[in-house]
Structure 1
Amino acid sequence: MFTLFRPELAAYAQGTLAEQRRLHDGGWQPGELHSLQMERAAETIRYARANSAFYAARLSGVTVPAAGPVSPQDFASVPFTTKDDLRADLFDVMSQPIDRAWVYYETTGTTGRATPCPRDERDSIVNNTALTLAYEKIFAQHGERHVVAVMGPTELHSTGDTFGDVLRNLGHTVVKMWPHSPVVGFPRALALLEQLGVTAIVCTPGMAISLAKAARAAGIDLHGRLSVRLILTLGELTSPAMLENLGALWSAAVYNCMYASQEASIMAACHADGRLHTVPLNNLIEVIDPDTGLAVEAVGGVREGELVVTHLYRGAKPLVRYRTGDLVRLFAEPGSVSEVMQPIGRTRDALHLAGRRVTAFDLEQTLFTHIRGVIDYFLLIDEDDGQDLVTVNLEPVDEAAGAAIDRVAIRRAVADAFHVACEVVLGSMDAITSTGAMVSWKAARIHDRRGSGAEPERAAALAIAAGRGTR
């Protein structure tokens, strides 16, 4: 509604919507889009260099014309921006003073210094338009009208505002709640799901699991008393096999609905086909080798490596060649200028089994291809007589589900894929598995006992879990 009072923003919103609709309709040609990206990348560089103290210094030697596009060669020479830069320079990275933003967010600060993530109206228009168009068909596939519970992690996080705006655009009802809040809590959250006839939930995979556990403890039948038929997960790595397990647990359709971060906003959004698609009008995306920083070439139409993003719009804090620290696979999509994105883990979540690097995605996908009826899981990694040993700890929904788990198939799948010994144990999980979005998938899901010394991220996850356990 604010655009009614800001005609220039209303015009910008209409132009953004027209461009994004054309993208969804397949109207952009590759050469045309590339030219637009190079032009807008140059605009971002000029804008950031002129308005950000950090970028004024960082981009001082960058060759970019006074008007028009930057050349691919000159763009490739632009220095990277890193998470450490954001933590060190904080408000100096911003291209607008805080009083020109419409809202202030920041990162959680659980694994490092919290960094400012303000948004102005253009930030929200660009990103929320992309999400609105992406989710329109998803919601339509599961009913005409929805009551949606949006479960954001903190008051300083963008989830509640973003989905409030997107769902209002689509005509659905929003209920903002955070079950870990001492004011709300899981009993009240479950009561609201039932009383309001909530049909859809936006939450992390860990929260979907925690809600299912709380419902089981309260004697609430997820399949009978609740009306949830659609779950949009975000904030954590989630494999397709894990999504299927969650879907079976809730008797709902489950989508990994976006790839995003507080710092970089929306980089890919789920479409009705269930896959994450990049938003090339919003971001110029690169994939680099995380060790060398060099661009990765496609192999069989797939690029795999660390994601680097440059914003193609001039908001409160545009980022230039920002190294996300996340590993992805990007698949060329025939007939489309967008690519299909598959996040496969953070660079710092790298795990080595039998001397080989293993991604979080591949490990979880291998496990849950052979698992159903499980409400939670956790992995222990040890060394036994010089061989890596993976103990898969599973929490079944009930005794029948536990009896149906094929331990032999799980052991064989893990051994064949990763060349390690494997054991399967059934039991209850503690609260650390719910901390993935706040810390990392690895800290929440794995305790690697082969090394020595402290694990800072695991310590952070344990601290959060202990705090949640007191409520």
Structure 2
Amino acid sequence: MPDDLLQPLREMLSEVLLRNPFWQKKLQGIDVATLQSPHDLDRLPFLFKPELVADQAAHPPYGSNLTDPRTRYTRVHGTSGTTGRPLRCLDTAESWQWVLSCWEQIYSLIGIRDDDVFAFPFSFGPFLGFWAAFEGAQKIGRMCLAGGGLSSEARLRMIEENSATVVCCTPTYALRLAEAAAAMGMDLANGPVRAIVVAGEPGGNVPAIRERIESAWDATVYDHWGMTEVGPLAVEPANDRGGLQMLAGKCLAEVIDPATGKSQTPGELGELVVTNLGRWGQPMIRYRTGDLVRERPGSPPLSPYLEGGVLGRTDDMFIVRGNNVFPTSVEAVLREFDDVVEYRMTLRHKREMPHLMIEVEPRPECDTIAALCERIHRRIKDRLNFQPEILAVGVGELPRFELKGRRFIREQS
């Protein structure tokens, strides 16, 4: 093999195993020197988020996955806790510079220009993505506008008054800002924004969602993927649209069959597993992300291109009338209807059978609500092979989101 793809991993493990109690125990008996080819990764165990949460509960507050003394850590970030208890993620000064270097590569791949001005229209909470994208843009010398603590209307004025050309937010909030701009009479399509970098939830590579955002803003949407646990590790390159490229040299990425744990055939749906290579202070080795992706055949080993981006999550899939359904698939259909402003899905059981109810909030101008619900019902039936219940609600009844949308509710039976 001309390139030793596992050399960075061996270098990291040689240091980590000297003083990280978590990995000393988990990788006991592993001879690092024998990790020579991508196939050798199979000898390393998977890492699951519940393991890390349990470890932090047993060794509060930060757990035993710490390679350095606590005095060397300079940042603490946290996961959202949407699938369980929040996880605290620490960085040393060195590992934080590595995180920012990932964003440098991301910004290069999407063609950021010298004269770009960045707007970050969100509150800066504990999540890593906000801070890393902001400081990463600063590191490459760009003006950065922080929109924390502002209303959506104030953020839109900030973008317009400062001639921001790049906006970073979730797909949900890009649509929310477009809704707010329309209510204000602001013409986003003739505004200064030329690029929108979206992350935090699937959507950037869902055609109907992308088209709605790009149409409202007259700007190019670039999808991005990362997690507080592992860092910012994938982006949709400007010259290769329609998917996500894992960052070369920053991680080792695998796509596995979530049921068997074996490598998935390229082109088939599988779970993304990531080993980051620069956060030695709290490394994540073969981390099961829970994100479902499809590797493009012919991708470089351990640096795959993910066709269509993130396609769903292993814990979100549900079965209706024998059909495997992901909330993102339903959203992709709903976003094809311009008259749908917002929606919410609730999965419950009726007579022991799964039943999906979809509440849709039409535009105030929509005067054919019953016909709209019928068209949605028919299209979901034709496209996804099951019949949901469609219920129209009044204007403003459904919640709006600044961060990740909480539009899928699974009721306990």
CA 1:389 to 1:55, structure 2 compared with 1: closer, same or farther past 3 Å? Answer: closer
Deviation at residue 385 of structure 1 after TM alignment = 8.2
Deviation at residue 177 of structure 1 after TM alignment = 1.5
Match of 1:285 in 2: 253
User: What CA distance in whole angstroms lies between the structure 1 residues aligned with 2:301 and 2:157?
Assistant: 44
For the pair 1:362 / 2:329, whether they are aligned, the reply is: yes
Contact between 1:202 and 1:233, CA under 8 Å: does it hold in 2?
A: yes
For the pair 1:56 / 2:24, whether they are aligned, the reply is: yes
Specify which of 128, 146, 151 is matched with residue 116 of structure 2: 146
Determine what percentage of the aligned residue pairs are the same residue. 26
Q: Which runs of 5+ in 2 are unaligned?
A: 57-61
Deviations 1:88-141 (Å, cap 9, x if unpaired)?
A: 22331121233223422222345433322122344344443343233236355x
Match of 2:43 in 1: 77
Match of 2:79 in 1: 107
Root-mean-square deviation over aligned CA pairs? 3.2
User: What CA distance in whole angstroms lies between the structure 1 residues aligned with 2:171 and 2:367?
Assistant: 20
Match of 1:132 in 2: 104
Specify which of 286, 296, 300 is matched with residue 263 of structure 2: 296
CA 1:72 to 1:146, structure 2 compared with 1: closer, same or farther past 3 Å? Answer: closer
User: What CA distance in whole angstroms lies between the structure 2 residues aligned with 1:63 and 1:221?
Assistant: 61
Deviation at residue 229 of structure 1 after TM alignment = 3.2
User: What CA distance in whole angstroms lies between the structure 1 residues aligned with 2:314 and 2:195?
Assistant: 31
Match of 1:255 in 2: 222
Match of 2:294 in 1: 329
For the pair 1:345 / 2:312, whether they are aligned, the reply is: yes
User: What CA distance in whole angstroms lies between the structure 2 residues aligned with 1:247 and 1:407?
Assistant: 25
Q: 1:193 aligns to what SS in structure 2?
A: helix
Contact between 1:48 and 1:95, CA under 8 Å: does it hold in 2?
A: yes
Q: 2:126 aligns to what SS in structure 1?
A: coil
Q: Which runs of 5+ in 1 are unaligned?
A: 1-30, 453-471
Deviation at residue 80 of structure 1 after TM alignment = 1.6
User: What CA distance in whole angstroms lies between the structure 1 residues aligned with 2:279 and 2:346?
Assistant: 45
CA 1:366 to 1:108, structure 2 compared with 1: closer, same or farther past 3 Å? Answer: closer
CA 1:60 to 1:336, structure 2 compared with 1: closer, same or farther past 3 Å? Answer: closer
User: What CA distance in whole angstroms lies between the structure 2 residues aligned with 1:376 and 1:49?
Assistant: 49
Contact between 1:393 and 1:425, CA under 8 Å: does it hold in 2?
A: yes
Match of 1:467 in 2: none
Deviation at residue 309 of structure 1 after TM alignment = 1.3
TM-score by length of 2: 0.83
Deviation at residue 320 of structure 1 after TM alignment = 1.3
For the pair 1:305 / 2:270, whether they are aligned, the reply is: yes
More helix by share: 1
User: What CA distance in whole angstroms lies between the structure 1 residues aligned with 2:402 and 2:390?
Assistant: 23
Q: 1:302 aligns to what SS in structure 2?
A: coil
Match of 1:117 in 2: 89
Deviations 1:286-336 (Å, cap 9, x if unpaired)?
A: 2222233x21331xx314222211122352211111111222222135689
Match of 2:69 in 1: 97
Contact between 1:152 and 1:159, CA under 8 Å: does it hold in 2?
A: no
Q: 2:311 aligns to what SS in structure 1?
A: strand
Deviation at residue 350 of structure 1 after TM alignment = 1.6
Contact between 1:351 and 1:358, CA under 8 Å: does it hold in 2?
A: yes
Contact between 1:44 and 1:320, CA under 8 Å: does it hold in 2?
A: no
User: What CA distance in whole angstroms lies between the structure 2 residues aligned with 1:127 and 1:447?
Assistant: 33
Question: Which amino acid in 2 is paired with 1:115?
Answer: L
CA 1:252 to 1:355, structure 2 compared with 1: closer, same or farther past 3 Å? Answer: same
TM-score by length of 1: 0.74
Specify which of 363, 370, 377 is matched with residue 411 of structure 1: 377
CA 1:38 to 1:337, structure 2 compared with 1: closer, same or farther past 3 Å? Answer: closer
Match of 2:59 in 1: none
User: What CA distance in whole angstroms lies between the structure 2 residues aligned with 1:354 and 1:173?
Assistant: 52
Contact between 2:100 and 2:136, CA under 8 Å: does it hold in 1?
A: yes
Deviations 1:7-42 (Å, cap 9, x if unpaired)?
A: xxxxxxxxxxxxxxxxxxxxxxxx434x2x222222
Question: Which amino acid in 2 is paired with 1:297?
Answer: Q
**How many matched pairs?**
400
Deviation at residue 207 of structure 1 after TM alignment = 1.8
User: What CA distance in whole angstroms lies between the structure 2 residues aligned with 1:50 and 1:297?
Assistant: 33
User: What CA distance in whole angstroms lies between the structure 2 residues aligned with 1:74 and 1:338?
Assistant: 16
Match of 1:228 in 2: 193
